[in-house]
Amino acid sequence: MGPFAAFALATFLALLLTPLGVRLAWASGYLDHPEARKLHTAATPLLGGMVVFVAALVGWLVATRAATPESDVTLIMSGAIVALAVGLWDDRFTLPIGTKMIGQAVAGGLLLATGNVPDFGLGPFGNPALAMLGLIGLMNAVNFLDNMNGIITGLAAIALAGFAWGSWERGAYGVASGQLALAGACAGFLRYNFPKARIFLGDAGSLFLGYSLGASAVLAWTSSPLGWGQVSSLLMIGYPLFDIYFVVITRLRDGRNVAIGGKDHTNHRMASVIGWQKTVMLVWLVGVALCGSALVVQKLSHPLPTLTLSVLWLSLFLWAGVRLARVRVDSNGSPANL
């Protein structure tokens, strides 16, 4: 058995376990109740993240026969469990932002303790500090973007499949199996999360997937030969990065608190123009294009394609950001037509 078996098994397990997760959430009170800044109008179960985690973990362990081909697996998995646990606690009891970020830092620290620290040329203290900042930022970016049925589940599945392709080409078969297992779990869960959501990922799921994408980006960067191909890691996670930068800049421009949620994300603004289902599918399509670009950059590892594709995507995101920033929002940050 191998990576593709991990994907298939995790998909099947997610399809099987998600209805159980729905029942458990109702029984335990893990519910997301409607609020002004949210799109849903009825209480919805919140244990999707736990379902995705269990399906991916079991699928990976069975497909690899419980082997641990990489010595860093225990620390990486420990970080994933911490991210999941922080999210579960937040979903049920609502953690203060500071406490939540401490938990994210612990998860990121366990990952960096493996020695997989990207070299940004900042020295022995600057490199881990910047990597930690990036991991926490990505976890929050994914958490913030999890505001529309299926958007993060589908986007994460696409990016993880792209990371798995790169891991397989590098010979990291255990990592590729884990990434495909997680992609499969997301794909199976999507059946219950889009277009109508019977269950949400919750903060547990979005923080766990944000951590997983961050870990995949770090491993891709540190495992690839030094050179232009390392930029592929950033392209894979390009859309969550675009959204978080957009939200921070527009909220500061409008004098609003950056940490308070609202319906002012890139996808909210797009949805006010083309509808939310088309918006989700458009974001998925952008995710596929980013993954394709990333794999080209990784394969060629040459300045011309890397710079060309990087400039192209930066230009597209800048153009989209300028256009979306013109969508009128009210004092709460909600587009007028949403």
pLDDT tens-digit map of 281-298: 999 999 999 999 999 999
What pLDDT score does 120 carry?
81
- In order of 102, 103, 133, the CA distances from 96 in angstroms are 10, 11, 19
DSSP letter (8 states) at residue 30: -
Percent of the chain whose predicted confidence (pLDDT) is above 70: 92
What pLDDT score does 304 carry?
96
Q: Which residues contact 186 (CB under 8 A, 6 or more apart)?
A: 14, 52, 153, 154, 156, 157, 160, 209
Q: Report yes or no on 134 lying in a domain.
A: yes
Q: CA torsion sign, 169 to 174 to 176 to 177? A: positive
310, with CB counted inside 10 A (0-12, 13-18, 19+), is: middle
Q: How many other CB atoms sit within 10 Å of the CB of residue 312?
A: 11
Q: How far apart are CA 52 and CA 17, in angstroms?
A: 9
Q: Are 10 and 188 in contact (CB under 8 A)?
A: yes
Q: How far apart are CA 194 and CA 274, in angstroms?
A: 17
pLDDT class of 68 with cuts at 50, 70, 90: very low
Question: What is the number of residues in the chain?
Answer: 338
The total number of structural domains in the chain stands at 1
- 232: tokens are 């592929």
Q: Are 77 and 54 in contact (CB under 8 A)?
A: no
pLDDT class of 317 with cuts at 50, 70, 90: very high
Residue matched to tokens 């589940």? 153
For the cut 70, the answer to whether the pLDDT of residue 331 exceeds it is no
Q: How far apart are CA 116 and CA 128, in angstroms?
A: 9
Nearest by Cα to 266 from 291, 293, 248, 292 = 248
What pLDDT score does 64 carry?
79
Q: Taking residues 75-92, what's their average pLDDT? A: 94
pLDDT class of 332 with cuts at 50, 70, 90: low
For the cut 70, the answer to whether the pLDDT of residue 145 exceeds it is yes
pTM of the model: 0.93
For the cut 90, the answer to whether the pLDDT of residue 182 exceeds it is yes
Nearest by Cα to 321 from 261, 243, 257, 262 = 243
Residue matched to tokens 């890397």? 306
Lowest model confidence (mean pLDDT) among 26-35, 79-88, 214-223, 251-260: 26-35
Residue scoring higher pLDDT (331 or 116)? 116
Across all residues in the chain, what is the average pLDDT? 90
Q: Taking residues 222-232, what's their average pLDDT? A: 91
What pLDDT score does 70 carry?
52
pLDDT class of 275 with cuts at 50, 70, 90: very high
Q: Taking residues 229-257, what's their average pLDDT? A: 94
Q: Report yes or no on 330 lying in a domain.
A: no
DSSP letter (8 states) at residue 29: T
Q: Taking residues 110-119, what's their average pLDDT? A: 91
What pLDDT score does 140 carry?
96
Q: How far apart are CA 11 and CA 189, in angstroms?
A: 8
Q: Which residues contact 21 (CB under 8 A, 6 or more apart)?
A: 45, 47, 48, 50, 51, 199
Q: Report yes or no on 154 lying in a domain.
A: yes
What pLDDT score does 123 carry?
82
Residue 120's domain comprises 3-325
Percent of the chain whose predicted confidence (pLDDT) is above 90: 73
Q: Report yes or no on 336 lying in a domain.
A: no
Q: Taking residues 36-54, what's their average pLDDT? A: 79
What pLDDT score does 166 carry?
93
Q: Taking residues 140-159, what's their average pLDDT? A: 96
For the cut 80, the answer to whether the pLDDT of residue 9 exceeds it is yes
Q: Report yes or no on 201 lying in a domain.
A: yes
DSSP letter (8 states) at residue 42: S
For the cut 90, the answer to whether the pLDDT of residue 260 exceeds it is no
66, with CB counted inside 10 A (0-12, 13-18, 19+), is: exposed
For the cut 60, the answer to whether the pLDDT of residue 95 exceeds it is yes
Question: Mind giving me the DSSP string for 156-201?
Answer: HHHHHHHHHHHHHHHT-HHHHHHHHHHHHHHHHHHTTTSSS-SS--
- 260: tokens are 């308070």
